[in-house]
Chain A
Amino acid sequence: MKNNKKLTVKDLVTIGIFTVVYFVVMFGVGMIGMVPILFLIYPTILGVVTGTIIMLFMAKVQKPWAIFILGMISPLLMFSMGHTYILPVHSIIVMTIAELLRKAGEYKSFKYNMFSFAVFNTWICGSIMQMLLVKDRYLEMTVSTMGEEFAGSMEKIVTFPNMALVYLGAILGGIVGAYIGKVFLKKHFEKAGIV
C-alpha cells in the first residue's frame, strides 16, 4: 500500500457516513438545547452521547485530517442552515487543536484520541458564543418584552465566565463519552470485526 497516510475514497465515504450519524444524533439530543438554561449543559450531554460514534470513527480512520474534515462539515452545514459565520470560524480553531492532539498520539493512541474528542466536542459551544455576541440586542428586547427583573436574572446566567464552565462541561462530557465509546468498542465493534 502506497500513500498509506492519504485519505482514500473509502475514508472519505466513511467521513460522510459518520457525519450523518453524528448530525442526526446531535439533532436528536438537540431538543435539550431548545430548553432555556438547559442549553448550557447541552455540550456536556452531546459529548456523552456522541462519544461512541466519534471514537468508532477514529478507530476506523487513523489518518491525518479525518477528524478535522468530519468536524468542519457539521458547522458548515449549520452555517448554510442559518447559523452565523461565528460557528465555522470557532470550529476551525477547535478542530485544528483536535487534529493536532490526534497527531501527537499518532492517530491511534486512545489517550490522545480521547483528548482530541473532548476538544472536538467544544465546537458546539460556538453556537452559544454567537448568542453571547448578540447579547446587547437580545437584552434590549428581553427588557421591553419580559420586564427588567427577568432580563436581569438572565443577564446573570449567560455571561462570559459562565461560558468557561460550559466549555469545561463540554470537555468533561467528551471524556466520559470517549470512555463509553471505548467500552462499546471492546464489547461490540472489535468483536464484530468492523474496526
Chain B
Amino acid sequence: MLDYEENPYNPNPVTKLFTTFLFGLTAFHQINILFEWGAVLLLSFIFYKNGFIRDAIKNITSFGLLCLLPNLTVIQSAHFILKMFLMLLLMYRIFYFPVTSGKLLVKTSDVGSVISSMDKLKLPRAVSIPVAVMFRFFPSFREERRNIKLAMKIRGIDFKNPLAYIEHVTVPLLIMSSNISDDISKAAETRCIANPIKKTRYIPLKVKFIDFLYTVLVLAILVGGLLW
C-alpha cells in the first residue's frame, strides 16, 4: 500500500545531521587535500544516487575551482574591491564541507522523515511542533507575499518611499501570518496534536546499511585527513 520510495542510498536525517556536525569540524582543522577530495566524491555519490545529478556535478566542479583559487597569481594584482569579493570565496572554501553537507540534508529529506527523526531524537513537543509548522507555513508564506506584492503593484506602491513601502509590506504580511497561525492551530487541534499518548509515525525512521556506511566513511575521512 502506498509505497514511499525507500531509497537504499538515502541516509536518514539524523545521520545526515550528525555528519554535517562532523563536517563542521573541517572548518577549524584543515584536513589533507586528498581526503577532502574523498569527501567531495562521497557527497557527490549520495547526491547522484538520490537523483540530484546536477548537484553532484556542481559539487565536484565548484570544489575544483575553489582549490585552484590560491594558485591564480593574477589575483595578487587585482583591484582592492574585487579582492574583497574574492575573500568571500575563501570563506566559502573554509566552510565548504559543512555547507555542502547541509545542502544534502535539506535537499534529500522529506518532511515525514524529518518529523519522525525529531521523535527519535526525543525532541520535546515545544520544538517539534514549531518545526513541523514551519514546513507547512513556508509555502503559504510565499503565496501570501506574492499576493501582497500583486496588490501593491496595482495600487502603485513602490520603493520610491522606502519607509512607506516597508510599512505597507509588513502590516498585511504580519496580519495575514497571524490569521493563518490561528487557522493552522485549529487544524492542529482538530487532529489531536495535543494528545499526550505516544504517537506513531506512518513513515518510521529506518536505520539502513547506508547510515552505517556513510557515517563510517565520513569519520574515516576526517580522522585520516587529520592524521595524514
Contact = CB atoms under 8 A, between A and B. Distances in A.
Contacts, number: 162
A10 B185 contact: yes
* Chain B CB within 10 A, most for which of A82, A133, A189: A82
Contact of A145 (B86, B131, B137, B138): B86
B174 A19 contact: no
A17 interface: yes
A82 B132 CA distance: 20
Interface string B19-55: 0110110011010000000000000000000000000
B87 A36 contact: yes
A15 B70 contact: no
Nearest to A144: B70
A34 B73 CA distance: 24
Contacts of A7: 126
B2 interface: no
* Chain A CB within 10 A, most for which of B75, B130, B136, B180: B130
B171 interface: yes
B20 A82 contact: yes
Interface stretch (A92-100, A114-122, A135-143, A164-172): A135-143
Given A20-B141, A80-B20, A82-B95, A12 B75 contact: no
Nearest to A84: B24
Given A9-B193, A145-B86, A194-B175, A69 B94 contact: no
B117 to A, nearest CB: 11
Interface string A113-155: 0000000000000000011011001100110111100100010
Contacts of B87: 36, 142, 146, 154
Contacts of B136: 16
A16 B76 contact: no
Contacts of B75: 145-146
B65 interface: no
Contacts of A133: 28
Interface in A75-89: 79-85
What DSSP secondary structure best describes chain B's contact surface? Answer: helix
Contact of B70 (A16, A18, A141): A141
Contacts of A23: 134
Interface in B99-155: 99-103, 105-106, 125-127, 129-134, 136-138, 141
Given A134-B28, A146-B86, A56 B131 contact: no
B76 to A, nearest CB: 5
B137 A16 contact: yes
A33 to B, nearest CB: 10
Contacts of A144: 70
Contacts of B83: 146, 150
Interface in A44-95: 49, 52-53, 56, 60, 65, 69-70, 72-73, 79-85
B84 interface: yes
A16 B137 CA distance: 8
B185 A14 contact: yes
A9 B126 CA distance: 9
Nearest to B85: A36
25 contacts: A9-B193, A12-B130, A13-B181, A13-B188, A16-B137, A17-B137, A19-B130, A36-B84, A49-B166, A56-B174, A73-B127, A80-B17, A80-B20, A80-B106, A81-B106, A82-B20, A130-B27, A131-B91, A134-B27, A134-B94, A146-B83, A154-B87, A188-B171, A189-B175, A194-B178
Given A12-B126, A69-B130, A145-B72, 9 more contacts: A34-B88, A56-B174, A83-B98, A85-B21, A145-B90, A146-B86, A147-B76, A184-B170, A194-B178
